Structure 1
């Protein structure tokens, strides 16, 4: 290996493993394509530039997993140790573990539903390419927009289908329509109603958990204004799942954002056999706790700090 090449590989490995950068971020930083970055990370492992080991904090995290499983009747819980406040690294670690879990489930399912957001984007980015053409991928919410397109459900659906070398459907509609009338008109069209019905019949749904603040993915994508965030709080919203805003009892609130949403509602999601949620950050603990109590989720990936917050808040 040439010294110049080795130095670049070391730089890429440091950004990836120590700084928590994604392959996409590194690609932009060094001006190389993502496949080349992926190859460099692989070479770093093969040439012993990087030595991966697992710090054994199993006893603590297994205890947290067991408590959460018993407390909320969950099928599976995966708790990962925190990483010194580096939320990007925590999110990627959760995405890696969730991707490994999902890979093991693929032979047993035929239909996967995808919501939207950073956590799901990370999971799909970490998923390895494989041949699973018996699976069909469907978005669970509309996915059109101009900002942060890589977080939208249609883009994520396409990415997942590409990783699995399989088929997919798309919701050619925004997540939030401009008016209730437009939402109703769109949902009555054959194409959109068909995809929504596909979503209701998936075997596995992958969703994120949000809170009604400026940190919400919908706000970042331009779907929520400051006024929306203010009125959601006034209406009693504590969080959202698949952009369904709910109150402290897990009931969907009466709010214009909910009324204009194009996607599966909470009752639709509750009927899906397995709902996988990825949640990072203690700021989501209140929203997550309500969603768990309402039994909207049965497989959970979470960081240790948020797990402890959930347990100690009871």
Structure 2
């Protein structure tokens, strides 16, 4: 139990340290004790609740979210972009800029970069600065052909990113999803497809999106999936997709779905990539993101503040 005298002493040295901004040595000299006594006194004041340190910083909340997600899953980096007060479109641009800045820093020892497709990656490439990385090659990780929203397809994203990096790129001349498993097998035997997919398996860095096939689905919007496919995925308990590979809530790959008709690198193959960066936003994707994290398919998650807050809330509710 702390005596009144001890409490008064602790409050006195705390005022001198935090308000007068004296060093511990200066305080020790003033009150006539050794510096270690001052150090231990300041620590005790905090542990006893006499001193409470509050950081008034808008970024502190996002740092806390990052740490909670990192602690819950085996990921190297979580980047939460402060967007709580921003309109949706500006928030999306802020996310893209942060993601582009992060990717630039990862290119030092990279020879091959793989990209998937979607609105988040399209925004990232738009915000990407002009760089000179002639040694690099950009490779699409999933098929992407058609006339609808071609700017979102992996081939176009690979091409646009290669222009920003001043490097070469490959094209995967196949749709993301084909009509049958048999046709898929035939395409996989053609050199134009098999050679690119083989290169995709040897990339050093992958940049992927995460999707929810049931809510605001880009795949449905551009005609890759229809009502029958959605019904089958719902019955199979699909919660999301990474690089057009559909997964369940525990992160495992869904069976008996359109996964058997996708031309691209699946999430099991992504695990072999040294660095996999997922860029995604939207609270409707929280279950999809959680499945991706549980599956251990990514090393880095870059998302917005609203999405991260909802993700952490769901994690805490499950405890």
Query: What TM-score results when the alignment is normalised by the length of structure 2?
Result: 0.79
Q: Measure the CA separation in 2 of the matches of 1:204 and 1:87.
A: 28
Tell me the number of residue pairs that the alignment of Structure 1 and Structure 2 aligns: 260
Deviation of the 1:214 alpha carbon: 4.9
Deviation of the 1:279 alpha carbon: 1.5
Matches within 5 A, 1:1-314: 56-84=57-85, 86-314=87-315
Deviation of the 1:56 alpha carbon: 4.8
Q: Measure the CA separation in 2 of the matches of 1:82 and 1:123.
A: 16
Please identify the structure whose Cα radius of gyration is greater: 2
Structure 2: gaps spanning 5 or more residues: 1-55
- Which segment drifts farther, 57-66 or 82-91? 82-91
Q: Deviations over 1:194-215 (max 9, x none)?
A: 1101111111100111112151
Given the superposition, is the C-alpha separation of residues 256 and 67 from structure 1 closer, same or farther in structure 2, using an over 3 Å criterion?
Answer: closer
8 Å contact from structure 1 (residues 212, 233) kept in 2: no
Q: Measure the CA separation in 2 of the matches of 1:57 and 1:301.
A: 18
Q: Measure the CA separation in 1 of the matches of 2:285 and 2:108.
A: 32
Q: Measure the CA separation in 2 of the matches of 1:203 and 1:56.
A: 36
Q: Measure the CA separation in 2 of the matches of 1:84 and 1:186.
A: 47
CA-atom RMSD, angstroms? Answer: 1.4
Structure 1 segments (4+ residues) deviating >6 Å: none
8 Å contact from structure 2 (residues 206, 273) kept in 1: yes
8 Å contact from structure 1 (residues 274, 297) kept in 2: yes
Deviation of the 1:89 alpha carbon: 2.1
Deviation of the 1:256 alpha carbon: 3.9
Given the superposition, is the C-alpha separation of residues 233 and 85 from structure 1 closer, same or farther in structure 2, using an over 3 Å criterion?
Answer: farther
Structure 1: gaps spanning 5 or more residues: 1-54
8 Å contact from structure 1 (residues 90, 280) kept in 2: no
Query: What TM-score results when the alignment is normalised by the length of structure 1?
Result: 0.80
8 Å contact from structure 2 (residues 251, 295) kept in 1: yes
